[in-house]
Amino acid sequence: MQGLHVLIDSRIPPDVIEEIIAAEPSVIQLRDKNLPDSEMTVWGRFIKEKVEQGGNNSLLIVNDRLVVAEEIDADGLHVGQSDKPVRLRDRWPSSKIFGVSASTVSEAEAVLKLEPTYFGVGPVFPTQSKNDAHEPIGLNGLKNIREIVGYFPIVAIGGMTLGNAEKVDAEGLAVIGAVTRSPDPRGTIVHFEKVINDRRVRT
């Protein structure tokens, strides 16, 4: 799951979402803790239609909501530790993307047997974008989880900025505020993708 993952919810202004979609990040992840499934499904279908217009290559992943992911035929499902990943793994097609969050070595070890498509690891740095975020694990915490997950790709999340992105040992980076609060969301996405690609070339 290489590249930039941009997390969006229904509170983000429509013009910002338009900019995000136009920039074609590697992944757009729908994450909304407030909408009921029915409303999120409607919103998800709208976003998917926008993403698919004009041959957009962004993958669409739904956070936590299995029903929504099924209803909109999303490319992937991402689940947290509290979202019964074992049960959801059995219900989600093996041919599709399945991401699992891990903030500690023990959490990563517990879901290794699920063979997820990638691990979402963090928060690496302090973040104000997620009210339910754990304490930052830092670059050392990320390194420790890397040693456990082996060849499985890591998508790092939490406090990602263009200033610290080069330091992060991960195949992908997940961002919220760095893009949604940027005066130039499209340009910021392009810059992040370049940082990720340049790092990949160097390693």
Mean pLDDT value across residues 114-143: 87
pLDDT at 129: 61
Mean pLDDT value across residues 24-45: 96
Domains of the chain: 3-202 (3.20.20.70)
Mean pLDDT value across residues 113-130: 88
| 63: phi then psi, degrees, rounded to nearest 5 | -90, 120
Instruction: Please provide the DSSP assignment of 41-108 as one string.
Output: HHHHHHHHHHHHGGG---EEEEES-HHHHHHTT-SEEEE-GGG-HHHHHHHS-TTSEEEEEESSHHHH
Mean pLDDT value across residues 25-48: 96
Contact 36, 68 (CB under 8 A): no
Mean pLDDT value across residues 109-126: 94
> Cβ-count burial of 14 within 10 angstroms (0-12 exposed, 13-18 middle, 19+ buried)?
exposed
Q: Is the dihedral of CA 137, 11, 4, 116 positive or negative?
A: positive
Tokens of 158: 């939490």
pLDDT at 131: 60
When the pLDDT of each residue in the chain is averaged and rounded to a whole number, the result is: 92
Cα–Cα distance, 107 to 102 (Å, whole number): 5
For 103-109, the CB contacts below 8 A with 24+ separation are 103/134, 103/137, 103/141, 104/137, 104/141, 104/145, 105/144, 105/145, 105/148, 107/81, 108/145, 108/148, 108/149, 109/148
Contact 2, 171 (CB under 8 A): yes
Tell me the pLDDT tens digit for each residue of 62-114. Answer: 999 999 999 999 999 999 887 677 788 889 999 999 999 999 999 999 999 89
Mean pLDDT value across residues 159-167: 94
pLDDT at 203: 61
